[in-house]
Structure 1
Amino acid sequence: MSHSILLPRIMEVGRNACQKLPTILDSLGIKKPLIITDEMMVKLGYVEKLQAILKEVDITADVFSDTMPEPTESSIESGVQQVRHQEYDGLIALGGGSPIDSAKAISILGKFGGVINDYKFPRQVNEAGLPIVAIPTTAGTGSEVTKFTIITDEANNEKLLCVGMGFMPVAAIIDYSLTMTVPPRTTADTGIDAMTHAIEAYVSQKRNAYSDQQALAALRLIGPNLQKAYHDGKDETAREAMMLGSTLAGIAFNNSSVALVHGMSRPIGAFFHVPHGLSNAMLLPTITEFGISSTPDRYADCARALGIAELNDTDDQANIKLIAYLKDLNTELKVPTLAQFGVQKTEFDELVNTMCDQAFGSGSPNNNPRIPNLEEMLQLYALLWTESASDGVLPS
């Protein structure tokens, strides 16, 4: 059986890779780009830095900086209108996953119109919007190398998964120097997000030989370096490893899929505004423990790649270490419970059936090695409210 592999046309990787932006734009024939970003990138001076690089080759780039964390249709609307009324020939997406996801949606909506609900999965959006050059500034989402975008439909409080070649950036600039100022909380959340991408891509029912290699390579980089980057943000070696690990994890799940963690995580973000990586972290130990008996050899491979199990450990030994590691990691990286984040149990209980509907509707749970039924998913959500989500899981 063959598998279709999708990647950006151009990838520039390494410190100060941003300096190659003019060359990349020239190779793509982009002469009037719009920078899609957020206010933090403006405050940090990164937008001004890009504009200065472009000015050296006589390119003036306008800026749309009103993107929001966990983007919604209304948060991108003014960007869509700006694209519709100006003759831009490309977009530069600068920031974390939210600006990059916003740029993907703006690229399609700005060119073809409609509303984001028109493009949600299972529709495959393969028409080409404005070409995107993605420049990530966090090591986590991998959005710079994926055909996915997540935009919240506010009318239904639903995070819409949108999929297709039309959302794939034509170029990605992977410059880890842009992550050196990322604060510890964001470093932790995005880092666990990248780890989740790699693990889920490797155990997914849509996995393949190509995605397997990218996932394992990502875990080998993330495992020894996530805590280092969290505790010492100036550790350049750790930052470089996390940035490349994040991109490889993105390539892995883009060409495989994510699974149950992501399916259950998106409704938590939509209803309670929990950052995506953080909601993944809340779920990852329990969901891993739920599915581990269905493909123990694969999860054991993940444990060995992360460096937390020995090559000569049995699969059972490796998996015991994996579960313990994921629980201890959440403690070390100060991942809060839903209650500690501020979510009210009564509100959660009122919404949990809708959350299950949205999770199943995304399609991601069906990629899991063990697919839950509705009652099992309700129980998995309920475990978020135990004193420690690791105190118990459903029987295997």
Structure 2
Amino acid sequence: MNFPNTFHFILPTEIRYGKGIIHELPAVLKATSARSVMLITDTAIRRQPFCQEIINQLKNGGIEVHLFDGVEANPKDHNVEEAARLATDLHVEALIALGGGSPIDCAKAVGVVASHGGAARTYENRNLIVKPTLPLYTIPTTAGTGSEVTFSSVITDSRERFKFTIKSPAIAPKIAFIDPTYTHSMPAGLTAATGLDALTHAIEAFTAKVATPLSDAAALYAIERINSNLKQAVFEGDNAQAREAMMTGSLLAGIAFSHSDVASVHCIAEALGGKYDAPHGVCNAIALPVVMEYNLAFAAERYARVAKAMGFHFATEQEGAEMAVRRVQQLAKEIGLPEFRSLGVRPEDLDELAEHATRNGSNRDNPRPMEKSDYLCLLKTLMNQK
């Protein structure tokens, strides 16, 4: 694979990692003169004891906290716009996102709409983000999306049922406070889905046409960490070592794909998520092995290196590439991820799904050139799986 002659690497987000690291947040806010914040999360996280503990720490530190817990899975444009109106009306000075990818992606978009006005989808055109956005601090509670350090936000257009992306370094979180103990409360199914989501990020970042040496380094180590620890994290939820490995793997995968790209797995997953509101991590996990197999002839050298990161030994690139595909298939089964048919996809929707996948901005970076007919082929393959 030939790297581009030029590339950029920017990581605007400071990372603070460790058990109890959230204790530093009130002092950080005070140092920036922020006295009023909006905590953006969802109802499931709102019920977790650590959510109230974080709110109490902020209040005890002299910070006024306004709670918005209306983020839906696959955050919608109206979630963003409602939270942005509240943030504007309340004159908050900073945003805190607590949760998985949905609250964090929502909060990034809220920062843009609150400072610029208008509809969320307007800022699919990154050139329209011309002013500073509300400063954002992230606290991830899943080991999956890596969104705590990326500068992209995926939002669902609720009328078109189409996922669009807002991407700009201007929306990057200021600081990510990463405490792997927050993931210990994740149930096995969510751990499995988010873990395969992180693996998808790493593999697609490594095989995308715009990969760079720096994104490769993060992606390969992420693959190593996730492959070696995902099963333990799923079946031994209180295994602190496995949870920490998954959190660092997810973090590295986020750094990798934000400095490379994702590809056709995400094109399919985002089409499915937009149409059926299906869980993003599950959609990625279901599509990953099928897309890898479809890409095999165009990415054998890269997939062989994925297999090497997974600990396999082999005689030829082709053998290694096939090992990587089989390992992903095996891992998805071992951790009990659902089948494609569980998403309720209707045969009459396949053409629309293929069209949406083709329109996805990451389609151009898949190692195999993909047209609508290719996505139809893949979707039919998934529909026919036993």
Q: TM-score, normalised by structure 2?
A: 0.95
1:262 equivalent in structure 2: 266
Question: Which residue, 11, 14, 20 being the options, matches 2:24?
Answer: 20
**2:40 aligned partner:** 36
Whole-angstrom distance in 2 between the partners of 1:99 and 1:241: 23
SS in 2 for 1:234: coil
1:22-101 → structure 2 map (5 Å cutoff): 22-101=26-105
Letter in 2 for 1:321: M
Q: How far 1:239 moved relative to its partner?
A: 0.2
CA distance in 2, matches of 1:305, 1:161: 30
Matched position secondary structure for 1:63: strand
The equivalent residue for 2:174 is 170
Q: What letter is aligned with 1:216? A: L
Task: Name whichever of 372-381 and 277-286 sits farther off.
Answer: 372-381
- What's 1:383 paired with? 381
Residue matched to 1:337 = 339
- Quote the residue 2:252 is aligned against: 248
Note the alpha carbon deviations across 1:41-100, whole angstroms, 9 max, x for none: 221122211122223321221111111111111233321111111111110000010000
Q: Look up the match of 2:358.
A: 360
Q: Offset of 1:28 from its aligned partner?
A: 3.7
Q: CA deviation at 1:323?
A: 1.5
Which whole-Å CA distance do the structure 1 matches of 2:234 and 2:384 have between them?
A: 26
CA distance in 1, matches of 2:348, 2:126: 27
1:147 partnered with 2:151? yes
Of residues 258, 277, 291, the one that matches 2:281 is: 277
Change (3 A) 1:205 1:126: farther
Question: What amino acid maps onto 1:202 in structure 2?
Answer: F
Letter aligned with residue 380 of structure 1 = L
Q: Give 1:351's match in structure 2, choosing from 333, 349, 352.
A: 349
Any idea what SS the aligned residue of 1:224 has? Answer: helix
Q: Name the CA distance, whole Å, in 1 between partners of 2:117 and 2:61.
A: 32
- Cα shift at 1:9: 3.5
Q: TM-score normalised to the size of structure 1?
A: 0.93
SS of residue matched to 1:336: coil
2:116 and 2:101 map into 1 onto residues whose CA distance is 23
Pick closer, same or farther for the CA change 1:28–1:250 going to 2, 3 Å: farther
Contact (CA 8 Å) 2:35, 2:62: kept in 1 or not?
Answer: no
Between 1:119-128 and 1:48-57, the stretch displaced more is: 119-128
Partner SS for 1:172: strand
Deviates more, 1:360-369 or 1:197-206: 360-369
1:374 Cα deviation after fit: 2.1
* C-alpha deviation, 1:15, in angstroms: 1.5
> Runs of 5+ in structure 1 lacking a partner?
389-396
Aligned to 2:185, the other structure's residue is in SS state coil
**Match of 2:260, SS?**
coil
Paired residue type of 1:21: L
> Over aligned residue pairs, what C-alpha RMSD do you find?
1.6
- Aligned-pair CA distance for 1:385: 1.0
- Which one-letter code corresponds to 2:328 in the other structure? L
Is 1:157 aligned to residue 138 of structure 2? no
Correspondent of 2:371 among 367, 370, 373: 373
Structure 1 residues 332-378: Cα deviation after superposition (integer angstroms, max 9, x where no partner):
1222223234x15xxx3322222222212222121011012222211
Amino acid at match of 2:10: L
Does the CA-based 8 Å contact 1:161-1:362 persist in structure 2? no
CA pair 65-378 structure 1, distance change in 2 beyond 3 A = same
Equivalents in 1 of 2:177, 2:140: separation in Å? 7
> Which of 206, 213, 219 is residue 202 of structure 1 equivalent to?
206
Out of 218, 226, 233, the residue aligned to residue 229 of structure 1 is: 233
Match of 1:293 in 2: 297
> May I ask how many residue pairs the two structures share in their alignment?
382
Give distance in 1, aligned partners of 2:264 and 2:233: 27
Structure 2 CA distance for partners of 1:126 and 1:354, relative to 1, 3 Å:
farther
Identity %: 33
Letter in 2 for 1:33: V
Deviations 1:242-271 (A, max 9, x none): 001101100000011001100111010111
Tell me which amino acid in the other structure corresponds to 2:349. Answer: L
Name the SS of the counterpart of 2:325 in structure 1. Answer: helix
Change (3 A) 1:201 1:126: farther
Q: Which residue in 2 is equivalent to 1:212?
A: 216
The residue aligned with 1:391 is none
Given that 1:133 and 1:169 are in contact with CA atoms closer than 8 Å, whether structure 2 keeps it comes out as yes
Q: Given the superposition, is the C-alpha separation of residues 316 and 196 from structure 1 closer, same or farther in structure 2, using an over 3 Å criterion?
A: same
Q: Distance in 2 between matches of 1:123 and 1:157?
A: 24
Report how far residue 25 of structure 1 moved.
Answer: 2.1
Report if aligned partners of 1:121, 1:362 keep a CA contact under 8 Å in 2.
no
Shift of 1:313: 4.1
- In structure 2, what is the equivalent of residue 119 of structure 1? 123
